[in-house]
């Protein structure tokens, strides 16, 4: 019975991690699909979202409003980042664009360090309800919120891309940018919109994880790396595959930490990334979830 309880506890822990990685991985997929750029500053949007939300809550802003305002603030930062850093270098090599995003990551962390310092901060849970006992495991409500928000965000984005004009325009840019230009779609507007939406998703991930693990100026490093691994493992141009990759990484890390040692969980994630890059560079789920056009 104890072994069963541990199994379920690790399962829910893995799903919680996977849901956070999925939100950030979705940002990677959206940005890469529209702009062709790997934004390695994506994890820092999570850091900014969490710290801005904590600052707003401490200043007396109502909790729900603080979440919305912090996401909006990070989306604006993402838009400015695209306009001031990415857009002027659009015709540069891939290596130059990646270096620009790495440089932006250092800038974001440096600003956060100056504003908030090195101390970790805590955000109150979304709901102050009693923990649930399920299948022998003790489940925090914040973990349930994380999973539900991740699923809801994916459904909402799917409806946005399939049912709205702007969403369809973004998909047109993904499938055939040249044809999209001929149809009068402004690729530049789609680019800034994609980066802004990705930044908002990153901010939401940071806000969701802050009550569980806290928030600090450098929290975005590992979140960004793990989400990047999830996106590559699943499929960097396919949102459902990236989400599947995120939950796979979350579960592998949780079970590795529970049954082996916490020191193995990062090694397993990066080892899986290397194996996928060597043998299945399009991602584990590329064939299963790919779309013909």
**Per-residue pLDDT in tens (0 to 9) along the chain, 293 residues:** 567 777 888 888 888 888 999 989 888 888 887 777 888 889 999 999 999 999 999 999 999 999 999 999 999 999 999 888 888 887 788 888 889 999 999 999 999 999 998 888 988 888 777 777 776 677 788 888 888 888 888 888 778 777 777 777 777 776 666 777 777 777 777 788 888 989 999 999 999 999 888 899 989 888 888 899 888 887 777 778 888 888 989 898 888 888 777 777 788 888 888 888 888 777 776 554 444 33
Residue with tokens 């940018």: 177
pLDDT at 133: 76
pLDDT at 161: 74
Contact 220, 126 (CB under 8 A): no
N-terminal to C-terminal alpha carbon distance within the chain: 50
Instruction: Give the relative orientation of helices 2-35 and 141-163 as an angle to the nearest 10 degrees.
Output: 30
* Cα separations in angstroms, 17 against 118, 129, 144, 160, 281: 24, 21, 11, 25, 24
- Say how far apart CA 143 and CA 157 lie, in whole Å: 21
- Say how far apart CA 113 and CA 48 lie, in whole Å: 11
Contact 19, 89 (CB under 8 A): no
- Say how far apart CA 41 and CA 194 lie, in whole Å: 14
- Say how far apart CA 194 and CA 3 lie, in whole Å: 44
- The first and second tokens of residue 111, run together, are 């600003």
- Interstrand relation of 132-134 and 137-139 (parallel, antiparallel or unpaired): antiparallel
- Say how far apart CA 72 and CA 55 lie, in whole Å: 14
Query: Cα angle at 268 between 284 and 208, to 5 degrees?
Result: 80
- The first and second tokens of residue 142, run together, are 């914040």
Cα atoms in the Cβ-side hemisphere of radius 13 Å centred on 200: 17
Q: Which of 211, 195, 143, 214 is nearest to 39 (CA)?
A: 195
pLDDT at 113: 93
- The first and second tokens of residue 201, run together, are 């998703």
């Amino acid at each position: 019975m104890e072994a069963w309880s541990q199994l379920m506890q690790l399962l829910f822990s893995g799903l919680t991690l996977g849901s956070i990685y999925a939100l950030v991985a979705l940002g990677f997929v959206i940005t890469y699909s529209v702009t062709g750029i790997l934004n390695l500053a994506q994890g820092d949007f999570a850091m900014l979202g969490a710290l801005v939300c904590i600052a707003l809550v401490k200043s007396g802003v109502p909790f729900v409003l603080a979440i919305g305002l912090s996401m909006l603030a990070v989306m604006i930062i993402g838009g400015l980042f695209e306009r001031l850093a990415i857009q002027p270098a659009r015709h540069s090599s891939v290596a130059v664009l990646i270096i620009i995003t790495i440089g932006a990551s250092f800038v974001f962390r440096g600003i956060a360090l100056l504003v908030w310092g090195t101390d970790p901060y805590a955000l109150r849970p979304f709901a102050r309800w009693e923990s649930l006992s399920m299948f022998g495991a003790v489940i925090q409500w914040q973990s349930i919120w994380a999973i539900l928000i991740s699923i809801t965000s994916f459904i909402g984005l799917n409806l946005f891309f399939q049912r709205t004009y702007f969403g369809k325009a973004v998909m047109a840019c993904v499938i055939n940018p040249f044809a999209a230009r001929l149809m009068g779609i402004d690729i530049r507007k789609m680019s800034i919109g994609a980066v802004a939406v990705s930044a908002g998703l990153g901010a939401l991930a940071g806000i969701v994880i802050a009550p569980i693990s806290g928030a600090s100026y450098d929290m975005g490093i590992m979140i960004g790396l793990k989400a990047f691994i999830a996106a590559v493992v699943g499929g960097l141009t396919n949102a459902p595959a990236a989400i599947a990759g995120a939950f796979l990484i979350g579960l592998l890390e949780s079970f590795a930490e529970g049954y082996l040692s916490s020191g193995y969980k990062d090694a397993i994630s990066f080892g899986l990334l290397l194996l996928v890059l060597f043998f299945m560079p399009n991602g584990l789920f590329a064939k299963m979830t790919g779309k013909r056009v």
